[in-house]
Chains A and B, each alone.
Chain A
């Protein structure tokens, strides 16, 4: 303080403002071209999802039975499907469904994983052993198979698919968060808070969680495309989101069924779906670089 008082006002002005944390992140992030492209595509994806009703030229369920199986034309850029619905509009609405499923399922998985992982890490002992064995069991076999069974059980709407994917997808998050909690638990500031009498809940929400946001963001950016792949996968074997509500899965399924006679329907959903998945992966790789979180999903 004493030094700054002796400086003249002009000298103070020339001292550059310190970078904010976001600026630091952005400076590191933009070095990776693919990551920037990924980020732009993800933003476009989210904008399409939000503004789907305004962008789409038709409603996703506007049928026109005199105009079925149309190849791409000026009126219907992607053509029309078996009920004469505009395929472009259905693809746009599918983006919205994918956003809901991807974000919803991974957010819910993360929530379950965060609760179980932080309890496991903070408590330790028996609780930890039992919970981690449970995580091991969930990780030892392909969760998608259980999600399939769960989806048949719950029914096949957007909400139930989100729930099915969340219940089967939490184990990875739980292990990630437990590891982070264990690493942070013995940090001095956590000890200090404990000594001052902070409750366990207070320690977790105020000190531990903010410090593990980086690895969580990375895990989410890989979890979201995983949830989308799972959703579409369920549709392809017939237990995904039911039509008429469009999703990547049921568009692709219709494409597969009609591939022989009418290949137009399969092309756009598969290409755009793949592009979406790639965008999230580039975005995730970029995040992983700046947070330097190795491993984990």
Chain B
């Protein structure tokens, strides 16, 4: 398994990831280059003196030239992309527009762990809750347990995170029943009660997805020949479930966890903005509002990289757990 073919597989996958990132970066750079409303203009809009500095004035032009010089915006587009990519390859992203004295890589280093805490707690919760729910529904097909689980997972899969966030805040941090904080994040270590609502919001979608997938897997396994064989040769039902059914139906659940991690990482953009958590997602949202292009592109790159790594990990895990699956890039 860990032989040459695995090495080739890894190389191919990493090459594909690198190409994808280069394509994403190039598209984003090109789009932003021609976007209306640049950073200086949005900043001027926030300042009271903005009316005094006319766009055609000498002062504005000098300021703009200095700004473009500092961030290399006066170079041709392909050069800017190339400079960004070659620096990004060594995890250097330079300063952002908003905070010229702080390097983006330092912000990422500071904020990424917070996003990961929420995402991993959410996915962990989803696995702990979702799998038993799915297993139960799969074994008790077409009973009220099954209907409740199926109904719940349908709602959980459809309703977007920002809607869930609002509902949970209205219920648990509203006027009627104010028992949990509706946002915030204490530094350096967050309080446990601050984590509850964001993690719950993030976990509901994955719980639903995992429960539904597990249910279908279990139901399919239970209808297969080897289960009937095991039963007919007199294996006790408990052993049939534990030894034959569960093992065969839970392995594929690994594959559905990767898209759930991807979903959670992307969802963190909304969850962190709504719950005011200073993570990567919030970084992206604030960068958008300020037209802070280096910061926008970097947060997209970090999130996209996370999604790709999750997919890669799932593929590898799946082939380890089920030797019949061959890794192919």
Instruction: Write the residues of chain A forming the contact surface with B, with a CB cutoff of 8 angstroms.
Output: 136-137, 140-142, 144-146, 148-150, 152-153, 155, 225, 229, 232-233, 236-239, 252, 255-256, 259-260, 263, 266-267, 270, 273-274, 277-278, 281-282
List 15 contacting pairs A-B, 8 Å CB cutoff, sorted by A. A137-B19, A137-B23, A142-B266, A142-B307, A145-B300, A145-B304, A152-B35, A237-B285, A238-B289, A256-B274, A263-B174, A274-B158, A278-B155, A278-B158, A278-B159
- A144-B266, A237-B288, A238-B289 given; A137·B160 CB < 8 A: no
Are A153 and B162 closer than 8 Å at their CB atoms? no
Contact of A153 among B35, B262, B284 (CB under 8 A): B35
Grouping DSSP codes into helix (H, G, I), strand (E, B) and loop, the B interface class, with mixed when no group exceeds half, is helix
Closest to A151 in B: B288
In the complex, per-residue mask of B221-258: 1 if CB is within 8 Å of any chain A CB, else 0: 00000000000000000000000000000000000000
A153 touches B32 (CB 8 A): yes
Out of A141, A152, A252, name the residue touching B163 (CB < 8 Å): A252
State which of B45-53, B67-75, B83-91, B165-173 sits at the interface with chain A: B165-173
Closest partner residue, chain A, to B174 (CB atom) = A263
Query: Closest CB-CB distance, A84 to chain B, in whole Å?
Result: 22
Minimal beta-carbon separation of A252 from chain B (angstroms)? 7
Residue of A at shortest CB range from B157? A281
Q: Which residues of A contact B159 (CB under 8 A)?
A: 274, 277-278
B46 to chain A minimum Cβ distance, whole angstroms, is 14
> In the complex, A158 Cα to B22 Cα: how many Å?
30
- B2 part of interface (Cβ distance < 8 Å): no
* A165 to B27 alpha-carbon distance, docked (Å): 15
Mostly, the A contact residues are: helix
Question: Hey, which chain B residues are within 8 Å of A145, CB to CB?
Answer: 266, 269, 284, 300, 303-304
CA of A277 to CA of B307, assembled, Å: 25
Q: What 3 pairs across the A-B complex have the smallest Cβ distances?
A: A141-B304, A153-B35, A153-B31
Give Cα distance in the complex from A263 to B174, angstroms: 8
B170's contact among A136, A155, A266, A278, by CB below 8 Å, is which? A266
Q: When chains A and B are docked, how far (Å) is the Cα of A100 from the Cα of B291?
A: 28
Q: Does B270 contact A (CB under 8 A)?
A: yes
Identify the interface centre among A140, A150, A233: most chain B CB within 10 Å of its CB. A140
Name the CB-closest residue of A to B312: A140
Q: Are B269 and A140 in contact (CB under 8 A)?
A: no
* B162 interface neighbour in A155, A233, A239, A282, Cβ under 8 Å: A233
Report the nearest B residue to A228, measured CB to CB: B160
In the complex, the answer to whether B28 meets A137 with C-beta atoms within 8 Å is no
Interface assignment of B296: CB less than 8 Å from any CB of chain A: yes
Residue B324, interface by CB 8 Å = no
Contact: B269 with A237, CB < 8 Å? yes
In the complex, the answer to whether B166 meets A255 with C-beta atoms within 8 Å is yes
Query: What is the 8 Å Cβ interface bit string for chain B, positions 306-326, against chain A (1 contact, 0 not)?
Result: 011001000000000000000
A155 in complex: contacting residue of B36, B167, B291, B296, CB < 8 Å: B36
Residue numbers in A under 8 Å from B167 (CB-CB): 270
As a 0/1 sequence over residues 154 to 192 of chain B, the CB contacts with chain A under 8 angstroms (1 = contact) are 110111101101110110001100000010000000000
Shortest A134–chain B CB gap in Å is 8
Write the nearest CB–CB distance from A64 to chain B, whole angstroms: 25
What residues of A have a CB within 8 angstroms of the CB of B157 in the complex?
Answer: 281
- Complex Cα–Cα for A95 and B35 (A): 29
Does B304 contact A153, Cβ atoms closer than 8 Å?
no
Q: Which residues of B contact A229 (CB under 8 A)?
A: 160
Cα distance, A274 to B307, chains bound together (Å): 26
Q: Is there contact, CB below 8 Å, between A256 and B162?
A: yes
Given contacts A236-B270, A259-B170, A273-B163, A140 and B158 within 8 Å (CB-CB): no
The residue of chain B having its C-beta at the shortest distance from the C-beta of A281 within the complex is B158
Q: Cβ of B175: which chain A residues have Cβ within 8 Å of it?
A: 263
The reply to whether B273 and A152 form a contact with Cβ atoms under 8 Å apart is no
Nearest-Cβ distance from residue B17 to partner chain A, whole angstroms: 7
A259 touches B20 (CB 8 A): no
Report B-chain residues with C-beta under 8 Å of the C-beta of A140: 16-17, 20, 304, 307-308, 311
Which residues of the other chain, B, contact A236 by a CB distance below 8 angstroms?
Answer: 162, 270, 273-274
Apart from the given pairs A153-B31, A263-B174, A281-B158, 18 other A-B contacts in the complex at a CB distance below 8 Å: A137-B20, A137-B23, A140-B16, A140-B308, A141-B304, A146-B28, A149-B32, A149-B296, A150-B31, A152-B32, A237-B284, A238-B288, A256-B166, A270-B167, A273-B163, A274-B155, A274-B159, A277-B158
Q: Which residue of B has the minimal Cβ distance to A261?
A: B175
Which residues of B have CB within 8 Å of A152?
A: 32, 35, 288, 291, 296
User: Would A237 and B32 count as touching, CB distance under 8 A?
Assistant: no
Interface pair B166/A259, CB less than 8 Å apart: yes
B34 at the interface (CB under 8 A from A): yes
CA distance A155 to B291 in the complex (A): 12
Q: List the A side residues contacting B112 at CB < 8 Å.
A: none
A residues within 8 A CB of B116?
none
Interface string of B264-303 (1 = CB under 8 A from A): 0110011001100000000011001101000010001001
Contacts of A239 in B (CB 8 A): 288
